[in-house]
Structure formats: structure tokens, C-alpha cells
Amino acid sequence: MVESTGQPAGRRQRLVALVGNPNTGKTTLFNRLTGANARVGNYPGITVDRTVGPLTLPGGAPVDVLDVPGTYSLVARSPEEQIAIDAVLGRHQNPRPDVVVVVVDATNPERNLYLVLQLLELGLPLVVALNMVDVAEQAGVRVDPRALAAALGVPVVPTIATRRHGLEALVAAIEARLAAPPAKACWVWTPSPALDADLAALVPVLGDAAPGASDPAQKRALALWALMSLDQDDELIDAPGELRLHVLERLQLARAAQRDIDGEVIAARYAWIDQAAQRFMGRVAKARTWTARVDAVLLHPVAGFALFLLLMFTVFQALFAWSDPAIGLIEDGMAVLADGARSVLPEGLLADFVADALIGGVGNVLVFLPQILLLFAFIGVMEDSGYMARAAFLMDPPITTLFPHTTPFLPIQTVYACSVPAI
């Protein structure tokens, strides 16, 4: 599944892949690097956009930049989730990247470093873009790029993609990485003896899963990926049958021994991250902002819930009390129109049809318009103010417990008076 460990033959223009967790500013960084001159296609066999843009290095060499879909982990159980690892390893007709730029959110580096460790274990040539350092500074999070680079063994460049800060240094780091010797796989944590035995059993049967991998540490990383990705329910593309059988056998043995392989690996990686964070990261106490003070009340399990019920009761009452005058005007207007139609038309079927069916039918629909407009006005105000997201966070546990398949609470509450506005 790995096409080669070096640059693929016949491809002169080099490829830089941007990977990272969702919402780290990866696509913004891609647009800043390429000028948004992107070419959009599909990943082979998958209807997911593959976005590539041009970048010229300081030395004048052109490279392609690939925006890989955001992911928290390389572990995959579906073709869509498999895109990330296929893109960075050059599998399934994807060109293998010459450099992988990992975009790390500086406000929460611990969560982002999990993906970085997976890429290190695969022996990929990495450059870390420590993005949103300005937001981290405002939040009181301090990350030392030099200490982080020393801990990971790869270049770390602070960036602010929205302001183009650090882009020149990042491009220079990419160019330097292209000229550097090939990267080697690096494991910063040590597997348990049981997990080590699992990996040792899978490495000899990797077969087509690692045709170009010669580094034993990289083969172990590919074996670990297979162990955590393949199971009876996965839908992964082109997983070798023999490898799948051996993985299922190892998983069966692990279950018999009451071992949680996924939990074991995740705990080991985060244990290293937590320990390393003490060297490269610090937090500065910041004065509480007014939004934090408001959130302390709105999200309080008692006060926040009481305010939520009060607000919902107010909205419920307003939907009907405030709409009554408008509903009365509509009903009176429809009655006047119906009487006018009867006075003009001769008595009989035509007069009844116009007055009762046409005018009456339209009136029966229009009387709900004031409630619907008020409902959307309330929803708009709460969404724009940010309260809707806080209310959803507050109400999610009780609502999903009582009504697992419920729809938004605010429109649903109107069903107690009439189902039409709720629908």
C-alpha cells in the first residue's frame, strides 16, 4: 500500500501535504500559501474533493501543495477516513508527499500532537506549523517552539495564517526539509510486551500493505495501523486478505486476554504528550473576560438550567401572546374579503368556493405566519448572540437521554399549542 519510500519516479514537481485536525486553520494556511489558486478533483475511487495548489519556493522551485481533509487520527474504518493515511503514504494512486506539514492548533497542542506522533512513527518528513499562536497568547497558553521541536525532533514554525505571519519561515522550513536526508521512523513511546508481540506477528504478513517500507520501525507503525483499523466491520479499500486474517486473529486473542488495544495505544501516546508538555508548554493566568463570566452563569447546572427554562417559557408565551393581535387582524381581513366576495358574486357554488375555499383556505394558512415569523426571529437572536450553542450544550445530556432522536427543542415546544409552527 506504500508506493515507495522516496520520491516516485517520473514525477519532477514535488508535493507538500498539509494535514491536521479539523479547525486548526489548515485550509486558511493552504489558501495563504497557494493564493487560493487551487485545482479541485477527486481522490481515486472516492467522491471527496482533492484540493491542490501551486507554491514557489524561495529558490525558485515549484511545488504542489495538497490540502488533506482534516482528521484527528490516521486510524480508519471507512474509505473516507482512509483518505488521510493514503494521502500521506502515497497509496491507491495518490502521489507520495515529499514533505508533510502538520498544522497544530497552538491553543490545544496536546490534542493535536496525537496525530503528529502517528506521522513520526510512519517515518514521514515532517514540518510542524504551530498555528494560531495569537489566539493561544490571548487564552494564556504559551508554547515554546524550540522546546517542542527538540521534543519531536522536527522543525516547528509558529504561524498566524489569518495574518500571514510566519509564512516565509514556514516555506523556508519546507525547502530545507526537501533538501534534507530522508526521514526515519521515530517512536517516542514504548509498546507493552503484549502489543510488541502483536506487531511482531503482523510485520511478516504486511505484504502489499508495505511494498516500499524498509525501515523496521515504519513496518511496525504500519502493523499498528492495521491492528487498530481492520476488523470485521471495516470498509477499507484493498486491505490484503492475509493481513486481515492475522489482524482478526490477534484481536481475538486480545479480547480473550481482556486487553483493549486501542485504549492501550491511546493511553501510551497521551502519557508521552502529557509528560513532554511540561517542557514546551505553560499556561498564564488571565483575567476572566465578560463572556467567561456570563458563561459561568449560563452554563451553570442549576442557575443556567433555571435561566433556560425561564427563557423558554418567555418564548413560549410570546409566540402566542405577541402574535394574537396580528392573527386577529388576518382573521378580520379574511372575513372582510369573504363577505365582499359574497356580496359581489351570485349565491351558489361559485360564491361558496371563492369565499370559503380560496379566501378561507388562504386565511387558515396566513394565521400561522405571525407565530412562524416570531419563532424564527427568536431563533435568529439566540443563534447570533451565541446563546443557542450554550443552551444546546446545557440541554444535551437530559434531552438526548429522554428523547434520543429528538429535533431542536425550541420549535418542538410550540407543538403543545399547535403542531403547524413546530413543523
Kindly report the CATH number assigned to the domain that includes residue 85: 3.40.50.300
Q: Is residue 299 exposed (0-12), middle (13-18) or buried (19+ Cβ within 10 Å)?
A: middle
Q: Where are the alpha helices (DSSP H) in 257-386?
A: 261-280, 290-298, 303-321, 324-344, 349-352, 360-366, 369-385
- Structure confidence at residue 324 (pLDDT): 86
231 and 313 housed in the same domain: no
| Residue 411: CB atoms within 10 Å | 16
SS3 assignment, position 142: strand
- Structure confidence at residue 70 (pLDDT): 87
Smallest CA-to-CA distance from 421 within 319, 315, 353 is with 319
Domain contains 186: no
Cβ-contact 328, 310 below 8 angstroms: no
DSSP label at residue 163: G
Cβ-contact 226, 282 below 8 angstroms: no
Q: Taking residues 328-345, what's their average pLDDT?
A: 87
Give one DSSP letter per residue of 19-78, joined into a string: EE-TTSSHHHHHHHHHTT--EEEE-TTS-SEEEEEEEE-TTS-EEEEEEPPP-S-S--SS
Domain contains 247: yes
Q: Taking residues 256-269, what's their average pLDDT?
A: 95
Domain contains 7: no
Smallest CA-to-CA distance from 187 within 254, 86, 117, 113 is with 117
Domain contains 1: no
| pLDDT band per the 50, 70, 90 thresholds, residue 2 | very low
Report the mean per-residue pLDDT for the chain: 84
Residue 207 has pLDDT above 50, yes or no: yes
- Structure confidence at residue 5 (pLDDT): 35
35 and 165 housed in the same domain: yes
Q: What are phi and psi of 133, to 5 degrees?
A: -65, -25
How many domains is the chain partitioned into structurally?
Answer: 3
| pLDDT band per the 50, 70, 90 thresholds, residue 242 | confident
Q: What is the pLDDT of residues 57-114, one digit of tens each?
A: 999 999 999 999 889 999 887 777 788 888 888 877 778 899 999 999 999 999 999 9
113 and 31 housed in the same domain: yes
173 and 238 housed in the same domain: no
Cα(128)–Cα(166) distance, rounded to whole angstroms?
Answer: 12
Work out the angle at residue 182's Cα, subtended by the Cα atoms of residues 178 and 183, and round it to the nearest 5 degrees.
105
- Structure confidence at residue 6 (pLDDT): 39
| pLDDT band per the 50, 70, 90 thresholds, residue 179 | very high
Enumerate helices (H) and strands (E) in the chain, giving the number of each. 19, 9
Domain contains 188: no
- Structure confidence at residue 411 (pLDDT): 57
Chain centroid to CA 128: 19
Residues paired with 52 in a beta bridge: 39, 66
SS3 assignment, position 101: strand
Chain centroid to CA 384: 22
Residue 321 has pLDDT above 70, yes or no: yes
- Structure confidence at residue 7 (pLDDT): 41
Percent of the chain with pLDDT over 70: 85
Cβ-contact 55, 63 below 8 angstroms: yes
Last residue in a domain, options 282, 311, 339: 282
- Looking at 6-10, 85-89, 228-232, 417-421, which range is the least confident one? 6-10
Residue whose C-alpha cell reads 463570566 in the numeric block? 293
Residue 35 has pLDDT above 60, yes or no: yes
Q: Taking residues 398-412, what's their average pLDDT?
A: 61
Cα-based distances in Å from 125 to 5, 16, 184:
11, 10, 8
267 and 335 housed in the same domain: no
Percent of the chain with pLDDT over 90: 43
302 and 365 housed in the same domain: yes
- Structure confidence at residue 45 (pLDDT): 46
Cα(384)–Cα(363) distance, rounded to whole angstroms?
Answer: 32
| pLDDT band per the 50, 70, 90 thresholds, residue 410 | low
109, containing H or E segment: helix 109-121
Smallest CA-to-CA distance from 189 within 226, 156, 151 is with 151
39 and 159 housed in the same domain: yes
Cα(256)–Cα(167) distance, rounded to whole angstroms?
Answer: 51
Last residue in a domain, options 282, 306, 339: 282
Cα(100)–Cα(413) distance, rounded to whole angstroms?
Answer: 50
Work out the angle at residue 226's Cα, subtended by the Cα atoms of residues 87 and 11, and round it to the nearest 5 degrees.
25
309 and 278 housed in the same domain: no
- Structure confidence at residue 327 (pLDDT): 87
Domain contains 101: yes
- Structure confidence at residue 46 (pLDDT): 43
Cβ-contact 125, 180 below 8 angstroms: yes
- Structure confidence at residue 276 (pLDDT): 95
126 and 82 housed in the same domain: yes
Q: What is the pLDDT of residues 119-147, one digit of tens each?
A: 999 999 999 999 999 999 988 899 999 99
21 and 152 housed in the same domain: yes
- Structure confidence at residue 61 (pLDDT): 93
199, containing H or E segment: helix 193-202
Region for 92 from its dihedrals, namely left if φ exceeds 0, alpha if ψ lies in -120 to 50, beta otherwise: left
Domain contains 5: no
Domain, as residue range, for 232: 193-282
214 and 360 housed in the same domain: no
Last residue in a domain, options 282, 310, 341: 282
- Looking at 38-52, 82-96, 328-342, which range is the least confident one? 38-52
Domain contains 287: no
